[in-house]
Amino acid sequence: MKRKGIEVSKAIAEAAKLARVEVVSAYPITPQTHIVEHLAELVANGELEAVYLNVESEHSALSACVGAAATGARTFTSTSAQGLELMHEILFITSSLRLPVVMVLVNRALSAPLSIWCDHSDVMAARDCGWIMLFCENGQEAVDSLIMAYRIAEDKRVLLPVIVNVDGFTLSHVIEPIEFPEQDEVDRFLPPYEALFKLDPERPVTFGAYGMPEIYTEAKYAQEMALVSSKKVIKEVMEEFGKRFGREYKVVETYNMENSKVAFVSCGSINENIKTAIDLLKKDGLDVGLISLRLFRPFPSEEFLESLKNVKRLIVVERSMPQGATNTPIFNEICALIFTRKLDLTVENYIAGLGGRDVLPQEFLELVVNPPEKDHGREYKVLGVRG
Amino acid sequence: MKILKTLEKYMEDPSLELVASGHRACQGCAEVLALRMAFKVLGKNTIVAMATGCMEIISTPLPITCWRLPWIHVAFENTAAVASGIESAIRILMAKGKIDKKWINVVGVAGDGGTSDIGLQALSGALERGHRLIYICLDNEAYMNTGVQRSSSTPYGASTTTSPPGKKSIGQSTWKKDMPKIAVAHNIPYVATACPSYPFDLFNKLKKAKEKDGPSYIHILSVCPTGWRIPSEMAIEYGRLAVRCGMFPLYEVEDGVYKMTFKPDTLIPVEEYIKGQGRFRHLTEKEIKEIQQRVNSEWEKLNKLCEITKP
């Protein structure tokens, strides 16, 4: 295991190299660029045996991944915000065709106003596209998640695409000490991709036929079941990764939950500041926990409920606007669970960190000890917004 | 004799029927005929990426398919990008020894809307990148699958459901987009026009495309009796008339060199092509004359290009 200080974007590219990706198809958009620039370099230097496809748009970036994955190649793409929106149509087709494409989504706010900075409005606008979605808190998680993503996506019981969410700038552009597994260890963990069905003249198959009303529901049901059942494989893969590489991940991570009656729920790099706030509160003798969603799709309902333990008050912090919905996406999922399982909990919804605005540990601390009023007539509070 | 042998080979060998019968194309559809002919030449070692459109809809209602070739449909506008991905995958998998090294044709197929309108960007990208792929545009001159709406490839004056003639409209108010020339501008090894009314010409062009080590673009006029409002048994005849009047010249551009592949001694008047078609029924003599003038000047330009690019 090699450990070195490296920019997270470059580390992600190195992880893609360790995964021996075969077709890289991407279009530049800030803050994703450093990942694909480094991959282009690795291919140019002959360090990675792959085709680097300079496509003319994100729509084509993902479309080319679809074509390549259907032909049996291991594919990689990466994008942010507007790029993901341009891919939107193809996101749904990729998952419906059951192709194990893996994408690193460097989270960035959606325009307008144009912003290159981080929030989760991009992934949340695409949350129901049938992809498996993972979140990362730091660079090491990003590297490990990418390697695991291929193993999950290509598992014959899954065959679904995966998005690995990495917060733009706060994560993608920082230099972190990262442990890289050895190539032969990764090879043992992640064998070469063997497609169950592929575009092969020796064995012709039809991909992407259309469905009449008699069959469409069945096709979508089968796909939904595959996505729901993928959770079992995701957990298996995370466990095996832990055994092989010494860093075990869970679909729902918890922090200081043992004696906590109050807990935060969030995802992504913001969790590190929440943890700092939790540590400060602990010094004052107050136990507050954190439930971090590493897996967002399929939603890990059971694991989330198990993580609640003695919690009576949940503070859900999200980095996207509800866009006219009652609340933000994760909050809505949690409330549906609490209601259907008849749990006795209070749940608060805070929106913070939009368009790259920093949210400091002090602000999370405040939420615990001095919760603000909801915005007038709304079921949530947007933190720090100036009238 | 040689011609007859070719015909026999392509039309009577059942192993070359790679687009099986039993599809749901309209009666007299020359588009599916073009498809059938094209894949006879390309043969079994072929992978097809197809855009949304008539040919996709008539050939693959889940769980049925009429494709005896590996075939993929993803969306409307991205056929060339999907084909790029397929070609890239083949290249790397062969280099890594994961699949046998042999000649595999990668073919993108789209209609005129999927090519000259919504798919133009992806096509330009694929041509510019120089993938070894064959892109076939099946041009029936409107969005036939959705009910005959105009595309940028609809000819001037034609009536479609979104370019209806009326007191203030002639019908389609713009001239047909010159897709083959746009393809030529990418400096690719091979561009050609074809029409299933001229099967040998079509066979020869696909044979050439197949041998090129780079992108080729084949633009096939595919008569659509439903959208053009002509009797279904007249599809082949109208393809001939389109070529003979000069509205759809058969030519090829090989490494930048233009060449007519069928040059009628004299062009028949465009009126002979236009008059029997329901989509042109409303046109006045003056308007037909205007079209004739345009055809004449385009024909002249094309001939000049043949002259000046002659090596």
pLDDT digits (tens, 9 = 90+) for A198-256: 999 999 999 999 999 999 999 999 999 999 999 999 999 999 999 999 999 999 999 99
Shared-domain flag, residues A198 and A270: no
Minimal Cβ distance to A71: which of B78, B86, B124: B86
pLDDT band at B1 (very low <50, low <70, confident <90, very high): low
DSSP 8-state symbol, A375: P
Verify whether the Cβ–Cβ distance A71 to B90 is below 8 Å. Answer: yes
Q: Is the pLDDT of residue B8 over 70?
A: yes
The larger pLDDT score, comparing residue A309 to residue B25, is at: B25
Whole-number pLDDT of residue B4? 66
Whole-number pLDDT of residue B16? 87
Give the CB-side neighbour count of residue A35, counting CA atoms within 13 A: 35
Domain assignment present for A137:
yes
Shared-domain flag, residues A214 and A265: no
Domain assignment present for A224:
yes
Nearest CA in chain B to A205: B70
Verify whether the Cβ–Cβ distance B121 to A208 is below 8 Å. Answer: no
What's the Cα-to-Cα distance from A268 to each of A32, A100, A134, A246, rounded to whole Å?
A: 16, 23, 9, 21
Shared-domain flag, residues A89 and A37: yes
Q: Please indicate if any CB of chain B lies within 8 Å of the CB of A111.
A: no
B130 beta partners = none
Domain assignment present for A36:
yes
Q: Please indicate if any CB of chain B lies within 8 Å of the CB of A55.
A: yes
Optimal mutation site among A21, A42, A63, interface B, most CBs of chain B within 10 A? A63
Class of domain B17-309: alpha beta
pLDDT band at B38 (very low <50, low <70, confident <90, very high): very high
CA-based nearest distance A203→chain B, Å: 7
pLDDT digits (tens, 9 = 90+) for A68-99: 999 999 999 999 999 999 999 999 999 999 99
Shared-domain flag, residues A284 and A189: no
Q: Please indicate if any CB of chain B lies within 8 Å of the CB of A25.
A: yes
Minimal Cβ distance to B88: which of A51, A201, A205: A51
Strands A102-107 vs A162-167: parallel, antiparallel or unpaired:
parallel
Nearest CA in chain B to A23: B89
In one-letter notation, the amino acid at residue B90 is: I
Q: Tell me which residues of chain A have a pLDDT lower than 50.
A: none
Shared-domain flag, residues A204 and A292: no
Shared-domain flag, residues A241 and A256: no
Final residue in a domain of this structure, among A187, A217, A245: A245
Shared-domain flag, residues A201 and A336: no
Shared-domain flag, residues A32 and A152: yes
A69 neighbourhood in chain B, CB within 8 Å: 85, 89
Q: Is the pLDDT of residue B222 over 60?
A: yes
B98 neighbourhood in chain A, CB within 8 Å: 72, 192
Final residue in a domain of this structure, among A211, A245, A279: A245
For residue A158, the domain's CATH number is 3.40.50.970
Residue B150's SS3 state is coil
Final residue in a domain of this structure, among A197, A222, A245: A245
What residues make up the domain containing A274? 252-382
The secondary structure of A245-287 as a DSSP string is HS----SEEEES-TT-SEEEEE-STHHHHHHHHHHHHHHTT--
The count of structural domains within chain A is 2
How many residues comprise chain B?
311
A57 neighbourhood in chain B, CB within 8 Å: 121-122, 125
Averaged pLDDT, B279-298: 98
Shared-domain flag, residues A232 and A345: no
Shared-domain flag, residues A28 and A112: yes
Verify whether the Cβ–Cβ distance B74 to A205 is below 8 Å. Answer: no
pLDDT digits (tens, 9 = 90+) for B117-144: 999 999 999 999 999 999 999 999 999 9
Averaged pLDDT, B283-294: 98
Q: Is the pLDDT of residue B11 over 80?
A: no
Shared-domain flag, residues A289 and A233: no
Averaged pLDDT, B29-36: 97
Q: In this prediction, what percent of chain B has a pLDDT beyond 90?
A: 94
A71 neighbourhood in chain B, CB within 8 Å: 47, 85-86, 89-90, 93
Q: Is the pLDDT of residue B239 over 60?
A: yes
ipTM score over 0.85, yes or no: yes
Domain ranges of chain B: 17-309
Nearest CA in chain B to A93: B74
Domain assignment present for A387:
no
Stretch 205-224 of chain A: residues touching chain B, C-beta under 8 Å: 205-212, 215, 219
How far apart (Å, rounded) are the C-alpha atoms in residues B205 and B218?
8
CA-based nearest distance A44→chain B, Å: 14
Asked if residue B184 lies in contact with residue B218, where contact means CB atoms within 8 angstroms, the answer is no
